[in-house]
Structure 1
Amino acid sequence: MSTYELLPLGETVRPQHFNRTSTAWYSFCRLPAPWRRSPTLRRGLYLCIAFTAVLLLMEYTFTSVSIDRQQLRKLNGMQIYVAANLYNNEKILPMWIDELYKLLKFFGPKNVYVSIFENGSTDKTKQLLHSLKDSLNKMDVRNTIITDPTPKNYERRIPYLAQARNKVVEPMIKLYEDWKFDKVLFLNDILFSVGEIIMLIQSDIFNLLTTNDGNYDAACGMDFYGAFYDEFATREITGLPIGSGYYPFFADYKSRQSLINGLPVPVYSCWNGMIALNPEPFIKYGVKFRAVLPQRSQVPFEASECCLVHSDFRQLNYSKIYINPNVKVFYEESRYNYVHYVLPIINMVMWLFNHPKPLSDVELANLAQLYRSAADLGVKESDFICLQR
């Protein structure tokens, strides 16, 4: 008896004893019949697979960073002031706190101060922060954690947010005679990675703090909620809004080249969920977070307090401000896979097809009209860049 049988057209000849349905894995991997019968479809599929592999390789080449032991040694003994404003963050706080503990483990409890202000939360944020405070006290980590029962209520959002950010900076100013901090690390309600820095595994915090070899007045990561998120606070080095919410983001050519090469991108301003700041402007010159026209209950435009603080930095010649494209943070645990696995593919497709352009003449004319309106209301010229309708 022959060990082969005649199979239907389009099937591959196989030994009679080979059972094609004997393994679930084979059934799972087997192409649908139309694909098996069409060489054109098969070639298209293989090209798509190869193209995706190339995109992933290019993304790794562009954005992968190695942790330098020499830079790692520079972090040892660094004095870090961690500042955070939190509200209704019960879902992310367990992970957020775990990463904070890793940061404390690396820098040492004597080298970190934690300042958190929360108010108006209606979930379990307050309870989680009370537990965190108890833990920090047991670890001898100095801290100021305020949970304010006052409901979150305001006429204008930006003046309110500016006051909340100033509350977490206040302890640093009071402590300055006794404690000279190297960096202020502002952490929004984002999910970030400290990682096992000591094991030289890539870390958001490490990469941020060592931006431009530590030579910066402000260094931000990039935050994503689908597209790049914090366009409100971000201005390119030209002083104009960021060119696109999608890769390669920047209209400025030199900025795009820095991004593609995985290098820090000089910008006018940024925040993006996580930022490391030079504490000197706050302590030496009394810089505070603020709003434009704070006494007015309504204005025809607004400016982010996180952009205006950079305007004040620049007025004092603290102008080394960068976005570090190797630091990517997100706002929901479910977004982890998107940021780390889906976004790299989207980025490379956008690299081929998305070409951010400078503002058109019409857009520039609208911007000039906005600036004139702001000047008529008494807004300082140095604040114009941060304005947005």
Structure 2
Amino acid sequence: MFYNNAAVLPYWIKEVTKVIHYLGPDNVFVSIVESNSGDNSAELLEDFDRILKTMGVKRRVLTRDTSIERPPSQLMQETAPPRITFLAAVRNLVMEPLVQHGGYTRVVFSNDIFIEAESIVELLDTKGGDYDMACGLDLSFWGLYDQWVLRDRLGRMASTLWPYFLEDTGFRAVMADEPAPVFTCWNGIVAMRADPFLPLALRTGQLSTSPLSRPLAATHPAYPQPQNLTPAATPPVRFRTSAPDECYSSECFLLPYDLRRQFELNNIYVNPRVINGYMWQWYVWFKWVTRHWAVKWWIERVENGNGVHLAKFILGDPGKIWQWDGGECHPVRGSFGFCVSVCSS
């Protein structure tokens, strides 16, 4: 998914091309959607399409796409409902070739980020491949960027500051530079199982044939469902918007939430070694400057997580955080923008 990304695309294309060579052109399918750009993003992606063709890579590269109407700019603020509806639809459009033809066991979904080829391979190899979904770390300005989506393994909000998690397991994992179990994540780039997206006839046996161990919450749009329904027999998952009684959430939060609740795919991790960013200067800062051995020593041995609990960013009024089936909820329902609050809870 790309929109006005001429600044990031040359780097992204170069690194993704390296990954394709590493994995083997016969082993990947590339699906890209670009729309409504006012720069030369479309031309850059059309050049990439030609490169993929010469490599023999199966692909679908849609540029200047008009099949999904983009809302007016005033309705495209970060948490605005029209924006989430639009993004969910575009993400589903990206997934169409997989849904229609299957043939793959893993999906790597990248946002418009700066990232190294080695980091993408690292993501794919999270926990030696023993995961249902693995996410990178998108870092910017103060630290952790996408806190609307990320929840620790207990469903609680994270901190912007390293090591990000306030619960002990995640805290210690990030301190050791190891994957941390989480409830939900996205954070720039993810690798996940392909089967939940596929029609039943195209699935490869990745999903359980036992009934769900817990019923769906009554707030879920698929509720009620047969008591004996198994993950293997559950209809394909799609990116979606929040149901009326759910916590108002990003489409990128609801996807891992649905993987948990409908498919019991609970092995979800953030890999702190998979650093990525949306802006070059912050990517350089967090990828190389803060990873320099001397700076890293200071962060780990001197700062040692000091103050991490003081830097939660809440989208909305901190006094209105509430609990639901998906954990702690940012109080932004119906907002056409967001208020960021720093709290010390």
Q: TM-score range by the shorter chain?
A: 0.7 to 0.9
CA distance in 1, matches of 2:49, 2:318: 49
* Residue 308 of structure 1 pairs with residue 264 of structure 2: no
SS at match of 2:290: helix
Q: Which runs of 5+ in 1 are unaligned?
A: 1-84, 195-202, 372-380
* Residue 183 of structure 1 pairs with residue 183 of structure 2: no
Query: For residue 28 of structure 2, what is the aligned residue in structure 1?
Result: 112
Query: For residue 193 of structure 1, what is the aligned residue in structure 2?
Result: 116
Q: CA deviation at 1:351?
A: 2.1
Alignment of 1:190-269 (within 5 A): 190-194=113-117, 203-226=118-141, 227-242=143-158, 244-269=159-184
Query: For residue 236 of structure 2, what is the aligned residue in structure 1?
Result: 286
CA distance in 2, matches of 1:262, 1:117: 33
Q: CA deviation at 1:149?
A: 4.8
Correspondence for 1:367 among 297, 306, 321: 321
CA distance in 2, matches of 1:347, 1:159: 39
CA distance in 2, matches of 1:306, 1:118: 18
Q: Which runs of 5+ in 2 are unaligned?
A: 76-81, 201-234, 333-345
Query: For residue 10 of structure 2, what is the aligned residue in structure 1?
Result: 94
Q: CA deviation at 1:213?
A: 1.1
Partner deviation per Cα, 1:292-344 (whole Å, 9 max, x = no partner): 148xxxx9973111111111101121111000111111122333431134334
Asked whether the equivalents of residues 307 and 386 of structure 1 are also in contact (C-alpha less than 8 Å), the reply is no
SS at match of 2:171: helix
CA distance in 2, matches of 1:248, 1:302: 26
Asked whether the equivalents of residues 131 and 267 of structure 2 are also in contact (C-alpha less than 8 Å), the reply is yes
* 1:367/1:273 CA distance change after superposition, 3 Å: same
SS at match of 1:148: coil
Q: CA deviation at 1:384?
A: 6.2
* Residue 337 of structure 1 pairs with residue 284 of structure 2: yes
CA RMSD of aligned residues (A): 2.5
CA distance in 2, matches of 1:149, 1:280: 27
SS at match of 2:321: helix
Q: Which amino acid aligns with 2:187?
A: N
Asked whether the equivalents of residues 183 and 268 of structure 2 are also in contact (C-alpha less than 8 Å), the reply is yes
* 1:95/1:279 CA distance change after superposition, 3 Å: same
Q: Which amino acid aligns with 1:317?
A: E
Asked whether the equivalents of residues 155 and 327 of structure 2 are also in contact (C-alpha less than 8 Å), the reply is no
Alignment of 1:137-156 (within 5 A): 137-150=53-66, 152-153=70-71, 155=75, 156=82
Asked whether the equivalents of residues 160 and 311 of structure 2 are also in contact (C-alpha less than 8 Å), the reply is no
Please report the TM-score for the alignment, with normalisation by the length of structure 1. 0.66
CA distance in 1, matches of 2:246, 2:237: 25
SS at match of 1:290: coil
Report sequence identity in percent.
32
Partner deviation per Cα, 1:46-72 (whole Å, 9 max, x = no partner): xxxxxxxxxxxxxxxxxxxxxxxxxxx
* 1:98/1:133 CA distance change after superposition, 3 Å: same
* 1:271/1:366 CA distance change after superposition, 3 Å: same
* Residue 327 of structure 1 pairs with residue 274 of structure 2: yes
CA distance in 1, matches of 2:307, 2:330: 26
* Residue 318 of structure 1 pairs with residue 265 of structure 2: yes
Partner deviation per Cα, 1:85-125 (whole Å, 9 max, x = no partner): 11111011111111111111111111110000111000000
* Residue 353 of structure 1 pairs with residue 306 of structure 2: yes
If you compute each CA radius of gyration, which structure gives the higher value, 1 or 2?
1
Q: Which amino acid aligns with 1:126?
A: A
If each structure's helix is expressed as a fraction of its own residues, which one has the higher value? 1
* 1:138/1:388 CA distance change after superposition, 3 Å: farther
CA distance in 2, matches of 1:259, 1:121: 37
* Residue 160 of structure 1 pairs with residue 160 of structure 2: no
Partner deviation per Cα, 1:222-278 (whole Å, 9 max, x = no partner): 011121101111011111111x10112111012101111222100000001010011
The more displaced of 278-287 and 337-346 is 337-346
